[in-house]
């Protein structure tokens, strides 16, 4: 109950940002005592919000910190159902692990897990994903689509389109997609997607979509090696961004495309993906555990599988690999 009241209070102050809201108004609207208000104001201040309190005038929100807490993110999630249920942890090993157990316990579609920092963030193909505190978006989203197992890769492409659209909306930067799911700005990786499934036979129980996005890192946050291949919105846009806003926009983009996908199928998503594709039409090398193939990236199939034509004209279907250009 306390957490909900704090969230409602923050909503009132944010809606009137820069203006005073009287204690009386808050207490009427939230149906709580002046003492309770004061307690929540103190808590918000302790979390980094600057709130002015003036006798007879009330409270005024002056600045908000760059947090990804449930109350801050809920200011940006809009009317959709994605992000209605938020689990926030300041530091976790991996948000994927928490989302997996929430999904097993029956968490509804659209539930998200957010962390400020991950100490054991996971990337694709068993790699680690650097997730330092206060810099990026480290989020896991639970989906429960009623689709056959072999169509699951389509969701990764859908999320990649949504992530690149969100970057364009928030930062005005052009974001391209490298198959299947690397989001690049000027050829450097800014975000990655890790799609994991809970399935039985050929039916999907839950899809746990992990999204990592570099938002406010500066070059010095990256090791020399990583700095060659990675970037952030802040480096490319030359300003910092509110991570909660990035999350809100991202969730709205995902939800819109997802509803469209469930209703009309993969066709439109495929077109949107191809329009943003970085590797199509190029000569690439696909490296996987079973070996590597070099050739011409022809396109993606209806299932979201990459088609690669080798020098002998043979076309290979690539399900999972690293792409080099």
Sign of CA dihedral 31, 35, 36, 41: positive
> Which C-beta is closer to ligand BTN: that of 211 or that of 272?
211
Angle at 224 between CA 222 and CA 225, to 5 degrees: 100
Q: Is 206 in the site for ligand BTN (CB under 6 A)?
A: no
What is the DSSP secondary structure assignment for residue 128, as one 8-state letter? B
Q: Which of 76, 88, 138, 258 binds ligand BTN (CB under 6 A)?
A: 138
Query: E strands along 225-303, which residues?
Result: 283-288, 291-300
- Phi, psi angles (nearest 5°) of residue 223: -65, 160
> Which C-beta is closer to ligand BTN: that of 44 or that of 92?
92
Q: Is 118 in the site for ligand BTN (CB under 6 A)?
A: yes
Binding window for ligand BTN (CB under 6 A); candidates: 68-76, 117-125, 196-204, 315-323: 117-125
Q: Is 162 in the site for ligand BTN (CB under 6 A)?
A: no
Bridge pairing between strands 50-54 and 58-63: antiparallel
Q: Is 139 in the site for ligand BTN (CB under 6 A)?
A: yes
- Cβ neighbours of 55 (radius 10 Å): 6
Distance CA 261, CA 248 (A): 20
> Which C-beta is closer to ligand BTN: that of 128 or that of 315?
128
Distance CA 82, CA 248 (A): 9
Q: Is 94 in the site for ligand BTN (CB under 6 A)?
A: yes
Strand-pairing partners, residue 299, are: 307
Number of residues that bind ligand BTN (CB under 6 A): 21
Distance CA 36, CA 50 (A): 18
Binding window for ligand BTN (CB under 6 A); candidates: 124-132, 169-177, 227-235, 267-275: 124-132
Q: Is 140 in the site for ligand BTN (CB under 6 A)?
A: yes
Q: Is 188 in the site for ligand BTN (CB under 6 A)?
A: no
In the complex, the residues that contact ligand BTN under the rule CB under 6 A are 94-96, 118, 121-124, 127, 129, 131, 138-140, 182, 192-194, 210-212
């Amino acid at each position: 109950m306390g957490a909900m009241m704090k969230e409602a209070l923050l909503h009132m102050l944010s809606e009137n940002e820069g203006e005073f809201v009287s204690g009386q108004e808050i207490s009427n609207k939230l149906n709580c005592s002046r003492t309770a208000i004061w307690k929540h104001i103190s808590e918000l201040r302790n979390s980094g919000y600057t709130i002015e309190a003036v006798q007879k005038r009330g409270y005024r929100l002056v600045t908000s910190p760059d947090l990804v807490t449930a109350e801050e993110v809920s200011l940006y999630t809009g009317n959709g159902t994605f992000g209605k249920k938020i689990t926030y942890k300041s530091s976790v090993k991996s948000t994927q692990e928490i989302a997996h157990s929430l999904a097993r316990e029956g968490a509804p579609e659209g539930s998200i897990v957010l962390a400020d920092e991950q100490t054991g963030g996971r990337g694709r193909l068993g790699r680690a994903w650097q997730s330092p505190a206060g810099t990026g978006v480290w989020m896991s989203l639970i989906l429960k689509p009623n689709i056959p197992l072999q169509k699951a890769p389509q969701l990764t492409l859908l999320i990649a389109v949504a992530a690149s659209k969100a970057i364009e909306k928030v930062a005005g930067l052009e974001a391209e997609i490298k198959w299947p799911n690397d989001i690049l700005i000027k050829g450097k990786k800014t975000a990655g997607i890790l799609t994991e499934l809970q399935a039985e036979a050929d039916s999907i129980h839950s899809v746990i979509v992990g999204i990592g996005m570099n938002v406010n890192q500066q070059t010095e946050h990256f090791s020399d090696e990583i700095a060659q291949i990675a970037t952030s919105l802040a480096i490319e846009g030359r300003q910092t961004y509110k991570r909660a806003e990035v999350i809100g926009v991202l969730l709205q983009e995902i939800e819109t495309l997802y509803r469209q996908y469930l209703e009309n199928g993969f066709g439109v998503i495929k077109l949107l993906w191809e329009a943003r594709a970085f590797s199509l039409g190029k000569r690439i090398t696909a490296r996987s555990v079973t070996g590597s193939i070099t050739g011409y990236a022809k396109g993606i199939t209806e299932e979201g599988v990459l088609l690669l034509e080798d020098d002998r004209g043979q076309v290979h279907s690539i399900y999972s690999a690293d792409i080099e250009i």
